[in-house]
Each structure stands twice: as C-alpha cells, then as structure tokens.
With several copies, the nearest count.
Chain A
C-alpha cells in the first residue's frame, strides 16, 4: 500500500507498461517533455525517450489514424486525447477504422490501441471541456470502454487495457486526478469486463462507474443512516459491462438505481436499465431509477455546473424513488 494520487496511478501504469513491453508507445499533445496537461505522463519522456513517448501536433484525427497504423505495425500505442470533447475530431479514426479493422478484415490483424482521455465537470471548464461521451463508444461494436474510479482501478485497468488486443477507450475523470488514495502493493491486477461490489447491501443496487462511485458510496452512507442498506456496484468496464454481476445483485436487492455523471438521456445508464428491465424484470420490486446530468450542455458558472451535475443527494432521492 502506498499513498498516491490518481494521476500517479495512471503514470505508474504507463511507466510499467513501457518498461515491460517495448511495443508500448505513448502519443499525444504535450505529453512528452510537458508531461501532459494533467501530469499523467510526467517523467516518462525523460525515462523512455523520444522513440517511446511522442509529442503530436494538434491533429486529433490524424493521431487516431496514425495510432491504428502503429498498432497494425506491431506497436501498442496509447494515445491521449486531452479532453474527451476533442474526440469529436477523432471519431473517424476510432470508430470507422480502429473499431472495425479486426472484424472487417476477417480477423487478419489486431488493433491493440488505447485512447486515454478525460471527461467530466468540476473544474468549470465549460460546455466544450466537460462532456462525458462514453456512451458514443459503448454503442460501437469493436470498441471496449473502461472508466476507473479508484487508484487501484486506474492502475490495473489501464494495464489490462494496454494488454488487450483491441481498441480500448480509457476514460479518466478530470476531477479525480488530484484525488489521494491508496495504491496496493504488490501492484493490483484487473480484468476488463468485471465489475466490483464496492459496498455490499441488501436493499437496493446502485450501479455506477468513474467519479460517481464516490458519490454513490456517500449516498450509501447517508442511506444507511435512514436504515437503507445499499449495494454499490462499480462497473469499471462499460463495454463489455458485467451484466451478470448487476443481475445477481438485483436478484438480491430487487431495486435498481443507475447513476453516472454523463447526461442521463441516452447515456450509458439507459442500457443498464433497459437490459435489467428485460432480463431482470421478474426481480424488480420498483421502478428503475437513473441519475445523470440534466439535459443541457455543462454550463460554466460554478453554481450552474454544480446544480447540473448529479451527486450523492440525487442518488439518495433516486433510491427513495425505487420504493415509490
């Protein structure tokens, strides 16, 4: 166990991946000497040099496509799209090329490529620097989508993503980088597609991921005071997501809340809820409630952003509503 920050966990995973596998490359804007806007790649350029840690110009679509070419050429590029909002410029490389090549070429080649990016609010970065767009990628066959909540997950899931032979969208939360926490020793391991019960409970299942895991745990604590025992499931991987873990929990609690920071409408939570309304229907004792950002671009002003982004209080309300 060592005390560290979330950004260190990311940095450590990249460091270990670069160390272990000479095919791993980092590519991104200002990630080399500058160490990345959030410091996630700090020190790695000095340690591994210009052939392993590559600065890229402000050309997001080319970056994605170049990474596909590198991946097909036997490398394992980890690219950084500085803000998730900027993936809007890289969708062709990610969705039309990376996601489809293995399938479309009949399995001839793999595209072991990780797109690190960060989403979310909390820094008053405004409408073009705060979006949570993971649902876009979860909808695309051929992509995997990962979203860590803790330091151990950040470390272990990032390594697992880099080791995966498929393109993985790895979504960090900008407000988590500075979060302190424990990083296990020996280094933790993880498998993509496996959720974790962060808190066991018997009255309601709260399914969530990323930064909202912490809100859900806070909600669970305050619900405990009301005598409601909430189970909190951290999905960790959104595509593929751990359907059986969620169903198993629902079969114990019979009530379901799905929470994330992304806009509620057409978000990742819709799929979880819809799926449980099908395969878990007989287990349900109350409506499935969702918690997500309200339906507007993330506004800049402190009070507006705060009001729009969901937190523990809204999760508590939602849990109550599953009984309503």
Chain B
C-alpha cells in the first residue's frame, strides 16, 4: 500500500504508533468540535423548551433532541454553497448549517431581527445566506424544494449539492415518491436524508409505512446507506463519502439515519402513547462516552458544556432584549419589490 506525500515506505512500529496517535488526536479534535456543536443545539433546544413552558416562546415547537448527531454529522460534510431543506423539526439542521444563535432565538421569540423577522417562528427557521432553505410546516414540503435546489446546482455547474431532510413519517407523502423519481430521472445531486426516529407524531411509523426505505431506494436504483444516527462520527463519515461522490458523480442518493426522538412530538406532548423509552439512544451520551474513552479530560467536556450554556444564555438575553417585530414591516414584506429582482 502506497502512503501519502512525504511518507517513507518503511514504516516502523513507532512511526505507525505516532501516526495513529496523530490521527486519534485529529479525530479527537474533530469529535470535540462535533460534540461542541451538538451540545450547542441541545442547550439551545432545552432553552427553547423552557422558554416555551414559561410562555416566552409561543406556537408549535418540535425539538430535535436525540437527533443532533445527524444535523452535525451531515453538515460537517457540507459547504456554505450547499443547500438543505428541512422539516418541522428543523432547529438542529438550521443551527448546524450556520444559522446564528441570536437570529434563532429572536425568531422564536418573534423579534424584529429574528432570522425571519418573527414571521415564521420555529417551524420556519431559515438562513438562505448559509444555504439553509428553511424548516417547513408541511410534512414532505421541503423535499421538492431541495430537489429544485439540487437541479439549480446541477444546471449552474460546479459541484454544490443539496440535502433534503425528512422524517420516517414523511415516507407516506406522495410528493416524496414523486421526488425520488424526478431526482433519479434528472440525476440531481441530492441526498435524501431520512431521520428515522420511529415516530410519526403520536403513531409508530411501523403502523404507517409498509415498506423499508432501503427497498424503496432499490426500486429507484438509488445508492442507499443505513447509518447509526446516534454516532456523529459514523454519520459524518458516511455522509461525507456520499456527498463527495455526489460532488463528482452528480446523482441522488438515499441515507437513512436511525435516531431517537428523545422528547415528545412537540413541546407539551404528554407522550402517553410512548412505550419505547427504554430503547432511546442519546447521541450526546454516545459522543461523551467516546470522548471519555479516548481520554479526553472531564474538565474539557465540562468546559465545552459551559461554553454552550454561555453562548445560549447570551443569545437568549439578546433576544429577550430585542425589539418586537413590527406590523408595518410585515405588511410591506408580502411581495418582493421589483428592484431586487
């Protein structure tokens, strides 16, 4: 096996050890970065939950607790010019893709300079400047948008790609199947990224979906991979490989991330219907344990958590102090003005 540039052919044990240490260090650093992002999402969402409970955030709030590794792992493989379209459960996707924490909290609190000027709220967080084409209140609603975005990437040339996130429940929506077909026909560089948390709102998806995504992908001859969605490294690796292929080969693929919906469908959900609590896997636990096993000091992990808390705290404070959205701005914001075109 040939090594890379500058590496000798005679690899001694010591060198090998040093190299693997270095790789481990790199991996650790990367995993720490992943962990930090996941912590930030978790911390932000727990604050959302608390702010919702105390009435400071209204509306329907779907937290992605348990699914952070998918957001962070997939987004680690994406560039700012890549695009994603998300779901009702879109906080993690948005924050991981680069939506600022301030904009995020301001949006959820309905503030004038929230990400969407307070007009969309949790179900519509978006940041087009970083390629985050919006959470979506319609199950399956973002899938075709992502395919269109992928087609735009393809038509423009270059190697940007799009990712469509959707839940296992969305597999029942016809538009998703239309999109599998369209993307296949047009060889759009899109990843259909299913976050399979086992639930469609209050019903187990097994009672709603009669097929497996694997078999469905096979019907369209689409590359498919099932990934442990609680393992951010595995997610990042698998997504990274798939996305690299999409950059050159310009065709769709399907990935299924097996995840756990740690909380209720939305905040306020009493979850009386739930029976699977025993089997939930929390990616933050998984990642923390991995880091601990690799010898990362507890103080470092605590420092990361403290950083996340501080960042979130600052953003929440900024949001609370920010001015409310104004009706005038909303009234003027229904149509795009001609000049911008």
Identify the A interface with B (CB < 8 A): 25, 29-30, 33-34, 37, 51, 54-59, 61-75, 77, 85-86, 88-89, 92-93, 96-97, 101-112, 123-129, 141-142, 144, 163-166, 294-297, 299-304, 307-308
Residues of chain A lying within 8 A (CB to CB) of residue B149? 69-70, 72-73
Judge whether A294 and B143 touch: CB under 8 Å: no
Per the bound structure, the CA–CA distance linking A141 and B333 in Å amounts to: 10
Given contacts A68-B145, A69-B146, whether A128 and B335 have CB atoms under 8 Å apart is no
Q: Which 4 pairs between the two chains have the least Cβ-Cβ distance?
A: A69-B148, A65-B144, A73-B152, A301-B110
B residues near A (Cβ < 8 Å) are: 58-60, 83, 85, 110-111, 114-121, 123-124, 126-129, 133-134, 136-141, 143-153, 155-156, 162, 169-170, 172-175, 178-179, 181-182, 185-186, 200-203, 207-209, 273, 324-325, 327, 330-331, 333-338, 340-341
Task: Count contacts between A and B, CB distance < 8 Å.
Answer: 270
Q: A69–B341 contact, CB under 8 A?
A: no
Instruction: Give chain A residues whose Cβ lies under 8 Å from the Cβ of B143.
Output: 65
When the two chains form their complex, are residues B145 and A299 in contact, meaning their CB atoms are under 8 A apart? no
Q: How far is A103 from B182 in the complex, measured between Cα atoms in Å?
A: 28
Return B220 CB to nearest CB of chain A, in Å: 13
Determine whether the beta carbon of B85 is less than 8 Å from that of A58: no
A165 and B169 contact, Cβ closer than 8 Å, known pairs A62-B179, A72-B149: no
Residues of A with C-beta under 8 A to B136 = 97, 128
Known: A30-B202, A304-B110. A65 touches B141 (CB 8 A): yes
Our pick among A34, A107, A126, A296 for the contact of B59 (Cβ within 8 Å) is A126
Residues A72 and B120 in contact, CB atoms below 8 Å apart: no
A–B complex contacts, Cβ < 8 Å, 21 sampled? A30-B200, A58-B173, A62-B144, A65-B175, A67-B148, A69-B145, A69-B150, A70-B152, A72-B148, A102-B335, A105-B115, A105-B119, A106-B116, A107-B333, A111-B336, A144-B335, A165-B335, A165-B336, A166-B335, A299-B330, A308-B330
Q: Which of chain B's residues has its CB closest to A66's CB? A: B148
Q: How far is the CA of A58 from the CA of B209 in the complex (A)?
A: 9
CB distance from A82 to the nearest CB of B (A): 9
Residues of chain B within 8 A (CB-CB) of A304 are 110, 118-119, 325, 327, 330
CB-CB < 8 A to B186: which residues of A?
Answer: 54
A302, B110: Cβ atoms under 8 Å? yes
Q: Is the CB of A104 within 8 A of B144?
A: no
Q: Knowing A61-B178, A62-B147 are in contact, say whether A110-B336 is a contact too (CB < 8 A).
A: yes
Q: How far is the CA of A105 from the CA of B118 in the complex (A)?
A: 9
Q: Which residues of A contact B209 (CB under 8 A)?
A: 57
* Contacting pair A296 B331 (CB below 8 A): yes
Q: Would B200 and A57 count as touching, CB distance under 8 A?
A: yes
Which among B133, B134, B173 is the interface contact of A59 at CB below 8 angstroms?
B173
Chain B: CB-nearest residue to A192? B338
Interchain CA distance A114-B336 in the complex, whole Å: 14
Contact of B173 with A301 in the complex, beta carbons under 8 Å: no
Q: Which residues of A contact B337 (CB under 8 A)?
A: 165
- Are A108 and B208 closer than 8 Å at their CB atoms? no
- In the bound complex, residues from chain B placing their C-beta under 8 Å from that of A72 are 128, 133, 145, 148-149, 152
Find out whether the CB atom of B141 lies under 8 angstroms from the CB atom of A92: yes
Residue of A nearest to B155 (CB): A51
Contact of B138 among A67, A75, A92, A107 (CB under 8 A): A92
Alpha-carbon distance A42/B162, docked complex (angstroms): 32
**Nearest chain A CB to B110 CB, angstrom units:** 3
Judge whether B123 and A128 touch: CB under 8 Å: yes
Whether A59 and B174, one on each chain, are in contact in the complex, defined by CB atoms closer than 8 angstroms, is yes
Q: How far is the CB of B208 from chain A (nearest CB, A)?
A: 4
Minimum CB–CB distance from B26 to chain A (whole Å) comes to 34
Tell me whether A164 and B333 are in contact (CB under 8 A): no
Task: Kindly identify which residue among A30, A57, A86, A108 contacts B182, using a CB–CB cutoff of 8 Å.
Answer: A57
A303 x B110 contact (CB < 8 A): yes
CB of B287, distance to nearest CB on chain A (Å): 31
Check A299/B341 contact, CB under 8 A, given A62-B179, A65-B175, A92-B141: no
Contact B150 A297 (CB under 8 A): no
Closest B residue to A191 by CB, please name it.
B338
| Chain A residues in 8 Å Cβ range of B335 | 102, 142, 144, 165-166
Q: Which of A30, A66, A125 meets B203, CB within 8 Å?
A: A30
Residue of chain A at shortest CB distance from B124: A104
Please indicate the chain A residues that have their CB under 8 angstroms from the CB of B152 in the complex: 69-70, 72-75
Measured between beta carbons, the chain A residues less than 8 angstroms from B200 are: 29-30, 57-58
B319 vs chain A, min Cβ distance (A): 12
The verdict on A30 contacting B341 (CB below 8 Å), with A129-B60, A294-B331 known, is: no
New A-B pairs, 8, CB < 8 Å, besides A65-B175, A74-B156, A106-B120: A61-B175, A69-B149, A70-B152, A103-B333, A108-B127, A124-B121, A300-B121, A301-B118
Contacts of B330 in A (CB 8 A): 103, 296, 299, 304, 308
Q: Give the residues in chain B near A307, CB-CB below 8 Å.
A: 327
Docked CA distance A203–B185 (Å): 59
Of B110, B325, B334, the residue contacting A142 (CB under 8 A) is B334
- Chain B residues with Cβ below 8 Å from A55 are 203, 207-208
Task: Tell me which residues across on chain A come within 8 A of B341, comparing CB atoms.
Answer: 110, 112, 163-165
**Shortest distance between the CB of A80 and any CB in chain B (Å):** 13
Could you tell me if A165 and B144 are in contact, using CB atoms closer than 8 angstroms? no
Q: Which of A75, A125, A128, A308 contacts B327 (CB 8 A)?
A: A308
B contact residues around A37 at 8 Å (CB): 201
The answer, among B59, B116, B151, B334, for a CB contact under 8 Å with A295, is: B334
| Residues in chain B near residue A165, CB distance under 8 A | 335-338, 340-341
Complex: A125 Cα to B147 Cα, angstroms: 26
Option from A67, A88, A105 in Cβ contact (under 8 Å) with B134: A105
Q: Which of B120, B181, B182 is within 8 Å of A105, CB to CB? A: B120
> Are A69's CB and B147's CB within 8 A?
yes
